[in-house]
Each structure stands twice: as C-alpha cells, then as structure tokens.
Amino acid sequence: MPVSASRDTGGPGFPRWLWLPAAVGGAFVLLPLVAMVVRIDWGDFPDLITAPESVEALLLSLRTAAASMVLCVVLGVPMAIVLARTEFRGQSVVRSLVLLPLVLPPVVSGMALLYTFGRRGLLGHTLDVLGIEVAFTTAAVVMAQTFVALPFLVISLEGALRTAGRRYDVVAATLGARPTTVFRRVTLPLVLPGLLSGAVLAFARCLGEFGATITFAGSLEGVTRTMPIQIYLFNASSHPDSAVAVSIVLVVVAVLVIGVARQSRSAV
Amino acid sequence: MNTPKILAPKRLFAATAAALLIPLAACGSSDDSSSGGSGGSDDQTLTVFAAASLTSTFTEIAKDFEAAHDGVNVKLSFGGSSDLVSQIQSGAPADVFASADTANMDKLGKDAEDPKDFATNVLEIATPPGNPAKITGFQDLGKSGVKVVVCAPEVPCGAAAQQMEQKTGVTIKPVSEEQSVTDVLGKVTSGEADAGLVYVTDVTAAGKQVTGVPFPESSKVVNTYPIAPVADSDHSDLAQEFVDYVLSSDGQKVLADAGFGKP
C-alpha cells in the first residue's frame, strides 16, 4: 500500500498515450454509476430511502460493518505483524491461505463458514453444547463480513510494515524499550496510515458483503438483512426504484467513508 | 525515434477499440442470424423465459420440442418470475414467458399474448432428511423453537406462504425470509433450518436431500402457472407452437411427473 501520496511529482513522467486506456477505464467505472443516478425518480427518492425496511437495512449494515471492522483490526494486526516480521518455512503458503477469501467467491466463503460453525458443521456440536447458536443471527453476519474482509486489512498492513522496515524498532529496542512498548510506541504509529486504509477497505468490503452473508446468515429484516441483501430483494421483487434508491445511499456512504479516511490519512 | 512514438498510440487505440468492439459485434451478429433465420433457412432460436421452479420440467420439454422440430433451438432462461418480467420489460429478447403466478403475468400486460394456465402447484414443508425436528403438519411451523425458513413475502412463494398463514391462522416466525425457493432449500438441506416452506415440485426435485411433509391445508392456496407468447416476438408462430406443446398431453405428462397439478 502506498505510504507516500501518489501525486505526479514531475519526475520522468509517463507515456502520454496511457491517457487513452485510462480514460476508457475511468468511463467504464463511472458510466454505470451515472446510469444509476439517471434512473432515480427524485420525487419518490425521500420516501423510498426512508421506508422502514431501507432504514433498518442501512442501520444493520453500518452496525455490522463497524463491528466487523473492529474484529478485523483485533485479529488482523497481529496476523500482519507475524507475517511481516517472521521468516519460517512455508510462510508463503500460509500467506496465500490467509488471503484466500480475497479470491474466493463469497458464496463459497459462506458455505465454508456453514460447514464450520453451522449446526452440522465441524464446530457445530461443540457450539451446541455451549448453547451457542450462530446461524440466522446478527453475529453470523459479522462473522461472514469479517471472514471476507480480514485479508484486506492484513495485506494493507503487512505491506506497510514491510515498507516501514525494522530500523526504528531496532533502535527503540537498543534503547531499552520492551517489545510491547516498541510495538505500541514505534511500530504502530509508523504504520498507522497503512492500518487506517486497511481498516477502511475492510469496512467498505463489509458494507458490500452479500454472498457469504446470505449463505451463512440468511435474510431477515433487522436481524440479518443488510443493505445489499435488501437491494437484491427489492430488485428481485420488482421494486427496482427502491433498489436503485437504496443503492445510491450505499454508494454515498461508501464514498463518505473513503473520503473521511483520506482526509484523516493526510492529517496523520 | 519519433515515428514509432506517434504510431504507438494509434496502434494501441486500434487494439483497444478492437478489443471493445469485437465482443459487441459478436453479440450483434448472433442476433442477426437468429432473426434472419426465420426468413427461410432452417435454424431458428426460440428464447423461453421460465420461472425457476420450472427448471427441470422445461429443460425436458424443450428437448422434446427440439426433437420434434428440425432446426429449432430452444434457449431457456430461468429466474424469479418478477425478475424475468422486468427483464422482458427492459427489452430482453424473450419469445415465450412462463410465470410461476398470475400476478407476474398480469404485470406483463399487453406484452403477453393471451396467457393460458398450464400447471398448478401447492406448498409443502421440506425438512432435512429424516425430519429431525419431527414436523408433522403446518401447525408445527408456528411453534417457538422451530427454525422455519420461508420466502420473503415480496416473491411468489413467500406470498403463498403468507396466504397460507392467514387461511390456517398459524403465525410463523421465520428465522429467515429468502429471495427464492432454492435459497430456502439450501438452508434446509444444510440442516440449518428445521423446516422450509416450498412447493411440492421443489420437494420432488430435491429428492433424498430433503424429507417432505405434505399437509392437508395446502389445497387452500393453489398457485397457477400461466404461459404466453411474448408480443413482438420474431418467432411468434414458433412461440405459439411451444405454448401449445406445453399444453399438450406430452407436455402435461412431464409436468405431472414432476409433481405439478392440472391447471
């Protein structure tokens, strides 16, 4: 992940013809967004997005994505440090496996979670004995989101850690700081921008999560029906206007999140 | 050195343009050949949009229809009925539409030419193999502690489930309201849910993966499947023939074998 700002600083420059494919790519990404905005019936828009099911879905999405982001940080930071600061046999295999959810179809992730934590899953019986039921709960939504978003945080942070190097850690250690102090006072502040962008990426990925959630957690208003699932249901039940309206809200939230993150990152 | 620099962007432009246009051109030409084919040559492609619950039966019917009509190729597209309606309304090239309920056929309005009912379907309870929660009837779905998965009220199977609740006075508190019958079955076959409310034909199609629990009240909510040629079809004669074939005794037999009722 880029630690320095990616502004063109008047270096050797780049071939000017790159503008063309760049513009085509930009148009390819932006046109569908424009098409969606054009489809909105602005007269109905306020009613559509304040419909109880839309609001409920938005709140659930924000709540679960925030919880998942926290989980990703708690689990992902140690994972990234272990991956960046150690060398062991088979490390590249371990890294590939950890990053696997990035490339897995989300539905497959959902099935894998089901086979692990579901009633008949690997841990299903143990959880049952403990009186824990995961399926069809909001906790299942958070688990699904964390599963698919965790690699985003790990990969961002590991890159930042490797770029930052160990020099400052070593200096701090030779000055007598204990490992935990070095981690808290030197390592973490150094990679904070990387951690932040990783966390934002993870949050955004959680907001958009659909396949793993619907496979593992189901779809019930206020409990497991997050925004993408509500949008899909709107669309599947011939309420495309509601689907588009709620989609726009999701896009705006995503843009806000990314914008805020950029803002605070340049402040760091 | 200057010349190749100037050429490069052109070449790249050409390559980019070609890369963008070739697939489009391919799509266009296939459409042309199919519509041109109706003029006199043998090859005709009939596109049939059918409700997801018709997947296995219509695949079989289409094969039989192709066998009986030389040079005819039936292309099937399955999905939720309401999804298919919006696709047709946004210009999808459908020649025939078979809906899982009359409401969605009605939504198509004048785009459907003289719809005919061709099958009926009733609800049945699907449980994981062996029925571990010992569900015996519709009343059991209202019990607390029983994990029931239904379709969302917005989709036809969910609307039918809701009607059934009203007619029987049983209130189901589902743990999940899925978008389609297949999603409901997924939750049942994985054992996450104790019971799911789907159609008889879905239980038949799922085979050993589920144990079906029929219930007498099911006859109170009967779902009727209408079929119609789509107006403005390039193959309206062939579309009508396909509809007639579905209504014929051959077509009806395939549907009956899958558990569908008579219209």
Q: Name chain B contacts of A237, Cβ cutoff 8 Å.
A: 80, 82, 152, 154-155
Residue whose token pair is 């999405």: A61
Which of A16, A24, A233 is opposite residue B152, by nearest beta carbon?
A233
Which of B85, B152, B175 is opposite residue A136, by nearest beta carbon?
B175
Separation between Cα atoms, residue B155 and residue B101, nearest integer Å: 10
**pLDDT tens-digit map of B131-167:** 999 999 999 999 988 999 999 988 888 989 999 999 9
With 90 as the cut, is the pLDDT of residue A67 above it? yes
Q: Give the H or E element holding residue A90.
A: none
Give the model's confidence band at B44: pLDDT under 50 very low, under 70 low, under 90 confident, else very high: confident
**Between vectors from CA A22 to CA A17 and to CA A25, what angle results, nearest 5°?**
145
pLDDT the model gives residue B234? 86
Pick from A124, A107, A104: nearest CA to A116? A124
Q: Give the H or E element holding residue B96.
A: strand B96-98
Give the model's confidence band at B42: pLDDT under 50 very low, under 70 low, under 90 confident, else very high: low
Q: State the pTM of this model.
A: 0.77
Pick from A71, A56, A82: nearest CA to A249? A56
Evaluate the CA torsion angle B106, B111, B116, B121 in order and state its sign. Answer: negative
**pLDDT tens-digit map of B59-115:** 999 999 999 998 999 999 998 888 888 889 888 899 999 998 898 899 988 889 899
Which pair of tokens denotes residue B82?
Answer: 């309401």
Evaluate the CA torsion angle A200, A83, A107, B190 in order and state its sign. Answer: negative
Give the model's confidence band at A267: pLDDT under 50 very low, under 70 low, under 90 confident, else very high: low
C-alpha R_g of chain A: 21
Give the model's confidence band at B39: pLDDT under 50 very low, under 70 low, under 90 confident, else very high: very low
pLDDT the model gives residue A203? 94
Pick from A242, A228, A58, A216: nearest CA to B154? A242
**SS3 of B49, please?**
strand
Q: Are strands B116-127 and B96-98 parallel, antiparallel or unpaired?
A: unpaired
Give the model's confidence band at A10: pLDDT under 50 very low, under 70 low, under 90 confident, else very high: low
| Yes or no, beta carbons of A118 and B192 under 8 Å apart | yes
Q: A43 vs chain B: nearest CA distance in angstroms?
A: 22
How high is the ipTM of this complex?
0.74
Separation between Cα atoms, residue A187 and residue A161, nearest integer Å: 8
Give the model's confidence band at B242: pLDDT under 50 very low, under 70 low, under 90 confident, else very high: very high
**pLDDT tens-digit map of A133-172:** 888 999 999 999 999 999 999 999 999 999 988 888 889 8
Q: How far is CA A108 from CA A104, A113, A147, A212, B193, in A?
A: 6, 9, 11, 7, 19
With 60 as the cut, is the pLDDT of residue A230 above it? yes
With 50 as the cut, is the pLDDT of residue B9 above it? no
Which of B16, B152, B187 is opposite residue A20, by nearest beta carbon?
B16
Q: B196 vs chain A: nearest CA distance in angstroms?
A: 13
Average pLDDT over residues B206-221: 92
pLDDT the model gives residue A217? 93
Give the model's confidence band at A125: pLDDT under 50 very low, under 70 low, under 90 confident, else very high: confident
Average model confidence (pLDDT) across chain A: 89
Residues of A with CB under 8 A from a CB of B: 15-17, 20-21, 24, 114, 118-120, 135-136, 214-215, 217-221, 224-225, 232-240
Evaluate the CA torsion angle B172, B177, B181, B183 in order and state its sign. Answer: negative
Q: How far is CA A192 from CA A169, A184, A186, in A?
A: 15, 11, 10
Domains annotated for chain B, with CATH where assigned, are 44-120+224-257 (3.40.190.10), 123-220 (3.40.190.10)
| Yes or no, beta carbons of B177 and A114 under 8 Å apart | no
Average model confidence (pLDDT) across chain B: 84
pLDDT the model gives residue B246? 96
Per-residue burial over B200-212, b if 16 or more Cβ lie within 10 Å, else e, is: bbbbbbbeeebbb
Average pLDDT over residues A97-118: 92
Q: Name chain B contacts of A224, Cβ cutoff 8 Å.
A: 176
| Yes or no, beta carbons of A236 and B82 under 8 Å apart | yes
C-alpha R_g of chain B: 23
